[in-house]
């Protein structure tokens, strides 16, 4: 019997007394009388890895999640022994290990505050059904402790009081609290007494997390196989916890091309070619910016991956080129199921080379997906991934497709219980053969990885763009993602908001939802409100299922079209801001979207807020989540905030009503910020950017802002050809000083800046740029509001 609860512990076994301890560089092994070994590795001063074996022998140490680029090394490590415990001391932590039972307690090394303490600690059950152990861990929940993260769970931002399961699942039209859905990210951040820590349970078997649901003051996690193998990550800042988790599991291997941050239009399906053209032409005709157009499964011949329907798309290369000439990047879907068809070359190659997954007793894993009966490549075999990556040569190099969308990679199988492979299916798992019980949660990740390898190879010297539905921790290294088959409902708008924040807090920032909802059809109001949210999501795409009607920006009449255009235009203006936020994320693992708790964990009001979020570092946004709304109440975190539309200033630390008719939404800018903006373009690269607009939000005091730029594609930036501008603003009652520090070897196409001043409390008398006073005419001072600087200044004084 497989237990679904941590506490049904009739058969629970526990470690006994420590009988030996040894230390080897950064790794300590504690062995108990009953043969349990706890291995603690000091990855960094604030990151400890805990591994347990109940047999005295560890499995081969292999993880798909942990990147080889993860930082290792600490400033301090010593071990003290006391009568009842060992104490491992690093520069940041003290970890007590009880001699009696291996239970641990972790303290802040500086303050001695208790951060995380085992309750039962490690315990396990032997699984007679499958062999191996059901491995479990329970911890004491500290007073006021709250929990965040865990990937795409459609629950409230704070997970306290809930239990979750991790098993990637095709979940058409899921609802709030449906669990599990598409992704498995077994990482959470906990916060109590103003300090945060994280737990990453790197175990790919079906796993569970309980945040004080089963027992009020206990959090626990367990898995139906594998090792108890988890990383403890100390903050105390939440953002440090997430950054350190992202360091362990990897940042995106490269920046996305800038166009990927533009607006994307998708449908199941746009076909034939004439329909695709009708859609793209309409975007240009109505002047609604758009960078990417998607082809869903109907572009293929009988849903055979890597083929084209001759009837609907007779000349894909020409079409893709024509679309590209009009600024549209073509993105195609590729699913894992390969149709069983001896005339089909991909099938034949897979079969001849023995690349398909097999059942335990020998036959191939046969399952029904869109093309009918299929076999499925074993993406956990590096040779299969290499083969798969080469299948993209024609699509990318020849035809000119710019991105690939991996779907159904949970893997989804139709009309079977469990909607996926049976447990007995075998996988290579990088030479660690195993059953589907272990490989299920990483199957989609490895498919996306293989696809990524293909795009990276054949799109070179351009950057790859991949999107995946299924994911495990670490998938963010290769691909973007969306939240799967949601529904056109107001509730789902709120779910999309939470899921995007949660994914960002789970190390995976390149995320968005099907704008407007995949199933059913939104009305114009819901669609407009969803676009307003979507423009702040790192991945911004409208997608819907064809059987529920049209879902294009112009579907709902002129008023709605105008609102949608206005917000997509805003996204295009904000591209340099979003790109900078992406760069920060890719450099440091700082989430692009920050739930208010991540923004200010010291303010307890933020601990349960779900609607408001910070995008990048300086923009506070809060979607309207109800029909017929003229505005809403929202919470303002500490600081001073400018209403984006009116420049009215709001003091943080309070909840207030904000007006927002359908053509508006609550958007606020942090005072002191410089927000970089491009002119509106119909697609990225349409215009040569010859001037950067800087919206300057006056503040008394200091604030810094940054703008990252590079060629927006290609890899030169890795060789230093980027431009990073750091602006520091100092505001006084009668003076505003902006200093710029520039680094990097890239020369931006512009060296003209249009400064738009917001909230300047004095009348401008003088403008001094790099020690030279300029006449108002020279800088085209417009009222008291804006002026132009025709050079790359370093020192600006406005008096
Ligand atoms: C799945 C995907 C959806 C796609 C459809 C057809 O439902 O989640 O996005 O449009 O399959 O390929």
Catalytic residue among 210, 240, 407, 703: 407
Residue 209: left if φ>0, alpha if ψ -120 to 50, beta else—which one? beta
Q: Which atom of ligand 1 is nearest to the CA of 405?
A: 9
CB atoms within 10 A of CB 558: 10
Q: Residue of the nearest CA to atom 5 in ligand 1? A: 268
Question: What is the pairing mode between strands 511-512 and 47-53?
Answer: unpaired
What's the average model confidence in pLDDT over 469-473? Answer: 98
Q: Is the pLDDT of residue 5 over 80?
A: no
Pick the CATH number of 18-249 from 2.40.160.20, 1.20.1250.20, 2.120.10.30, 2.60.40.1760: 2.60.40.1760
- Please give the CATH architecture assigned to the domain spanning 688-798: Sandwich (2.60)
Q: Residues with Cβ < 8 Å from 558, sequence gap 6 or more?
A: none
Identify the band that residue 652 occupies on the pLDDT scale cut at 50, 70 and 90.
Answer: very high
pLDDT recorded at residue 129: 86
**C-alpha span between 547 and 300 (Å, rounded):** 19
CA 517 – ligand 1 centroid, Å = 12
Q: Which two tokens stand for residue 109?
A: 């090394």
Tell me, yes or no, if the two domains 294-317+328-477 and 688-798 fold the same way.
Answer: no
Write the secondary structure of 701-727 as one string of H (helix), E (strand) and C (coil).
EEEEEEEEECCCCCCHHHHCCCEEEEE
Which residues does ligand 1 sit against, CB inside 6 Å? 268, 296-297, 333, 407, 469, 484-485, 543
Q: Which atom of ligand 1 is nearest to the CA of 408?
A: 1
Q: Which atom of ligand 1 is nearest to the CA of 297?
A: 12
Q: Residue of the nearest CA to atom 10 in ligand 1? A: 268
What's the average model confidence in pLDDT over 99-128? Answer: 97
Q: Residue of the nearest CA to atom 4 in ligand 1? A: 268
Beta strands in 213-291 (DSSP E): 218-223, 228-234, 263-265
Catalytic residue among 156, 179, 296, 410: 410
**C-alpha span between 232 and 591 (Å, rounded):** 19
Q: Residues with Cβ < 8 Å from 61, sequence gap 6 or more?
A: none
> Per the confidence metrics, is the pTM higher than 0.95?
yes
**Per-residue pLDDT tens over the stretch 286-344:** 999 999 999 999 999 999 999 999 999 999 999 999 999 999 999 999 999 999 999 99
DSSP SS3 for 182: coil
Q: Which of 135-144, 204-213, 399-408, 545-554 shows the lowest mean pLDDT across its residues?
A: 545-554
Identify the band that residue 42 occupies on the pLDDT scale cut at 50, 70 and 90.
Answer: very high
In 3-state terms the chain splits into helix, strand, coil percentages (rounded to 5) of 20, 35, 45
What's the average model confidence in pLDDT over 631-660? Answer: 98
Q: Which two tokens stand for residue 154?
A: 């459609």
CB atoms within 10 A of CB 799: 15
What's the average model confidence in pLDDT over 387-416? Answer: 98
CA 641 – ligand 1 centroid, Å = 40
Q: By percentage, how much of the chain surpasses pLDDT 70?
A: 99
**Per-residue pLDDT tens over the stretch 694-749:** 999 999 999 999 999 999 999 999 999 999 999 999 999 999 999 999 999 999 99
pLDDT recorded at residue 513: 98
CA dihedral (446, 450, 451, 452) positive or negative: positive
**Per-residue pLDDT tens over the stretch 74-101:** 999 999 999 999 999 999 999 999 999 9
Q: Which of 122-131, 245-254, 311-320, 460-469 shows the lowest mean pLDDT across its residues?
A: 122-131
Catalytic residue among 170, 202, 485, 569: 485
What's the average model confidence in pLDDT over 368-393? Answer: 98
pLDDT recorded at residue 10: 65
410 is catalytic: yes
Q: What angle do CA 74, 78, 83 make, to 5 degrees?
A: 145
485 is catalytic: yes
**C-alpha span between 620 and 615 (Å, rounded):** 6
pLDDT recorded at residue 11: 86
On whether the CB atoms of residues 677 and 577 are closer than 8 A, the answer is yes
Domain ranges of the chain: 18-249, 294-317+328-477, 593-670, 688-798
What's the average model confidence in pLDDT over 671-693? Answer: 98
What's the average model confidence in pLDDT over 761-780? Answer: 97
**Per-residue pLDDT tens over the stretch 773-796:** 999 999 999 998 999 999 999 999
Mean pLDDT, rounded, of the chain? 97
Q: Which atom of ligand 1 is nearest to the CA of 266?
A: 10
CA 258 – ligand 1 centroid, Å = 25
pLDDT recorded at residue 4: 55
pLDDT recorded at residue 586: 98
Torsion on CA atoms 597, 598, 599, 600, rounded to nearest 10:
50
What's the average model confidence in pLDDT over 504-515? Answer: 98
CA dihedral (522, 527, 530, 534) positive or negative: positive
pLDDT recorded at residue 130: 87
pLDDT recorded at residue 2: 47
Q: What's 593-670's CATH class?
A: mainly beta
Q: Is the pLDDT of residue 389 over 70?
A: yes
Q: 294-317+328-477 has which CATH code?
A: 3.20.20.80
Q: Look up tokens 């097999």; give the residue.
A: 358
Q: Which two tokens stand for residue 577?
A: 């801001």
């Amino acid at each position: 019997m497989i237990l679904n609860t941590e506490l049904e512990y009739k058969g629970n076994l526990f470690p006994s007394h420590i009988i030996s301890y040894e230390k080897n560089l950064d790794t300590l092994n504690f062995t108990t009388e009953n043969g349990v070994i706890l291995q603690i590795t000091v990855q960094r001063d604030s990151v400890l890895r805990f591994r347990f074996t109940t047999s005295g022998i560890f499995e081969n140490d292999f993880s798909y999640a942990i990147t080889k680029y993860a930082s290792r090394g600490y400033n301090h490590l010593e071990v003290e022994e006391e009568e009842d415990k060992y104490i491992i001391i690093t520069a940041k932590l003290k970890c007590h290990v009880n001699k009696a039972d291996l239970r641990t307690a972790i303290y802040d090394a500086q303050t001695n505050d208790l951060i995380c303490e085992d309750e039962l600690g490690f315990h396990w059950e032997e699984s007679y059904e499958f062999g191996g152990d059901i491995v479990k861990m329970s911890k004491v929940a500290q007073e006021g402790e709250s929990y965040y993260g865990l990937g795409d769970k459609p629950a409230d931002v704070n997970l306290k009081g809930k239990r979750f399961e991790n098993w990637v699942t095709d979940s058409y039209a899921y609802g709030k609290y449906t669990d599990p859905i598409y992704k498995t990210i077994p990482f959470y951040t906990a916060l109590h007494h103003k300090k945060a820590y994280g737990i990453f349970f790197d175990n790919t078997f079906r796993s569970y997390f309980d945040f004080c649901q089963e027992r009020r003051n206990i959090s626990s996690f367990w898995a139906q196989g594998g090792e108890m193998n988890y990383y403890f990550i100390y903050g105390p800042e939440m953002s440090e916890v997430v950054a350190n988790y992202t360091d362990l599991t990897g940042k995106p291997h490269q920046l996305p091309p800038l166009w990927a941050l533009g607006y994307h239009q998708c449908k199941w399906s746009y076909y034939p070619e004439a329909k695709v053209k009708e859609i793209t032409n309409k975007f240009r005709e109505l002047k609604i910016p758009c960078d990417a157009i998607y082809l869903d499964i109907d572009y293929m011949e009988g849903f055979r991956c890597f083929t084209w329907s001759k009837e609907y798309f007779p000349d894909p290369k020409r079409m893709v080129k024509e679309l590209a000439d009009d600024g549209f990047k073509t993105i195609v879907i590729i699913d894992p199921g390969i149709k069983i068809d001896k005339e089909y070359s991909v099938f034949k190659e897979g079969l001849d080379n023995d690349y398909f997954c097999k059942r335990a007793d020998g036959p191939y894993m046969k399952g029904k997906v869109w093309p009918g009966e299929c076999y499925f490549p074993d993406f956990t075999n590096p040779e299969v991934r290499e083969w798969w990556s080469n299948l993209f040569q024609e699509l990318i190099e020849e035809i000119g497709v710019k991105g690939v969308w991996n779907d159904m990679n949970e893997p989804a199988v139709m009309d079977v219980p469990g909607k996926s492979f049976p447990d007995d299916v075998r996988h290579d798992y990088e030479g660690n053969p195993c059953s589907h019980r272990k490989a299920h949660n990483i199957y989609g990740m490895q498919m996306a990885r293989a696809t990524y390898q293909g795009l990276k190879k054949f799109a070179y010297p351009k950057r790859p763009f991949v999107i995946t539905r299924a994911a495990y921790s670490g998938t963010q290294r290769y691909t973007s993602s969306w939240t799967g088959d949601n529904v056109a409902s107001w509730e789902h708008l709120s779910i999309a908001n939470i899921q995007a924040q949660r994914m960002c807090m789970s190390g995976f920032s390149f995320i968005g939802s099907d704008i407007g909802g995949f199933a059913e059809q939104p009305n114009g109001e819901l669609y407009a409100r969803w676009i307003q949210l979507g423009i702040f999501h790192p991945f911004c795409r409208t997608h819907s299922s064809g059987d529920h009607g049209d879902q294009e920006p112009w579907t709902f009449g002129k008023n709605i079209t105008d609102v949608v255009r206005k917000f997509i235009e805003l996204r295009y203006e904000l591209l340099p801001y979003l790109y900078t936020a992406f760069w920060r994320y890719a450099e440091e693992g700082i989430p692009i979207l920050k739930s208010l708790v991540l923004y200010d964990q010291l303010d307890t009001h933020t601990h349960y807020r779900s609607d408001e979020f910070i995008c990048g570092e300086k923009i506070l946004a809060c979607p309207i989540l109800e029909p017929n709304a003229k505005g809403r109440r929202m919470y303002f975190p500490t600081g001073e905030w400018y209403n984006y539309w009116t420049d009215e200033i709001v003091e943080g630390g309070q909840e207030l009503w904000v007006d927002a008719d359908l053509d508006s939404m609550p958007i606020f800018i942090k005072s002191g910020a410089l927000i970089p903006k491009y002119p509106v373009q119909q697609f990225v690269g349409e215009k040569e950017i010859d001037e950067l607009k800087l919206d300057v939000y006056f503040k008394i005091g200091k604030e810094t802002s940054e703008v990252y730029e590079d060629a927006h594609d290609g890899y030169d930036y890795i060789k230093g050809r980027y431009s990073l501008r750091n602006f520091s603003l100092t505001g006084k009652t009668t003076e505003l000083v902006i200093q710029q520090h520039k680094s990097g070897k890239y020369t931006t196409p512009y060296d003209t800046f249009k400064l738009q001043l917001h909230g300047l409390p004095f009348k401008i008398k003088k403008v001094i740029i790099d020690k030279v006073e300029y006449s108002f005419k020279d800088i085209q001072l417009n009222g008291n509001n804006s002026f132009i600087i025709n050079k790359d200044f370093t020192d600006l004084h406005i008096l």
